[in-house]
Amino acid sequence: MTGDATWRADPELDADSADLLDALLPILCAPAGCVIGQLGQSLDGRIATRTGHSHYINGIAARTHLHRLRALADAVVVGAGTVAADDPALTVRHVPGPHPLRVVIDPKGRLAEHHRLFTDGEARTLHLVAPGALPDGGAAHRHAAHLQREELAVAPDGALARAVIVRLREAGFRRVLIEGGSTTLSHFLAADGLDRLHLLVAPLLIGSGKTGLNLPPIDTLGDARRPTCRRFSLGADTLFDLALRGER
């Protein structure tokens, strides 16, 4: 593990607890709140095989870390692709803690009504669609008290990402976790919408299949982003904690 000079855990703590605190304190203590992205990927930057098989790339320690991030977040954001592919619950199960608001970005309103986020009532869900995307205005689930449907003006990808952050911040959601998938996370990163990124890298090579981040192309390595990076061991996986504000 390498820490940075700003955050130091009490030397009396055992190494594992100190690492845990060291990794999470920048999120907990950010005075203006924090938008944090996360992505679990293989060594060669893949998040699924070509058939879409992705459970599980990361080990249990990294998956527990994701649940810890959810528990610390006021809201967790996913794209329509993740809900369509995985039907996730997005609740906190591997650690104690409250469930965050679950936010789905679904501009075309293409998600079916049966998905867990819309039906399970385990936590509140905010379903963001473009104006007029749902012909019935979402009437099918007006009776579901945990579900709120809201129209967000259509905007280019990055602008929509920024609008989501503004919408959540204005409603008092200070800590926001962008959980994925890769398209959604890439939009937020390209729009400069993340304060930190937790890349959870598992020691396997998938070799083909769905890639992780996809950002606008650059011509030279001088144009590459080089954020301050801290590394932590999570079982066999490595957490790269990237600070995306004030880099270079």
Q: HSE (CB half, 13 Å, CA atoms) of 149?
A: 23
CB of 31 to ligand NAP, least distance (A): 26
Helix, coil or strand: residue 29: coil
Q: HSE (CB half, 13 Å, CA atoms) of 8?
A: 5
Maximum C-alpha span of the chain: 60
Q: By rule CB under 6 A, what count of residues binds ligand NAP?
A: 27
Helix, coil or strand: residue 86: helix
Q: Is 100 in the site for ligand NAP (CB under 6 A)?
A: no
Residues 105-134: x where in contact with ligand NAP by CB under 6 A, - otherwise, as a string: x-xx-x------------------------
CB of 83 to ligand NAP, least distance (A): 7
Among 160, 194, 199, 239, binds ligand NAP (CB under 6 A): 160
Between CA 178 and CA 170, with CA 33 as vertex, the angle to 5 degrees is: 85
Among 68, 152, 180, 206, binds ligand NAP (CB under 6 A): 180
Q: Is 184 in the site for ligand NAP (CB under 6 A)?
A: yes
- Exposed (0-12), middle (13-18) or buried (19+): which is 92, by Cβ within 10 Å? buried
Q: Is 37 in the site for ligand NAP (CB under 6 A)?
A: no
Nearer to ligand NAP, 24 or 191 (CB): 191
Q: Is 69 in the site for ligand NAP (CB under 6 A)?
A: no
- DSSP classification of residue 71: H
CB of 154 to ligand NAP, least distance (A): 9
Q: Is 26 in the site for ligand NAP (CB under 6 A)?
A: no
The angle that helices 60-72 and 15-28 make with each other, rounded to 10 degrees, is 40
Among 27, 48, 76, 239, binds ligand NAP (CB under 6 A): 48
Distances in whole angstroms, Cα of residue 177 to Cα of each of 11, 193, 197, 224: 29, 11, 10, 24
Q: Is 225 in the site for ligand NAP (CB under 6 A)?
A: no
User: Residues interacting with ligand NAP, by CB under 6 A?
Assistant: 39-40, 47-48, 52, 54, 78-82, 85-86, 105, 107-108, 110, 157, 160-161, 179-184, 187
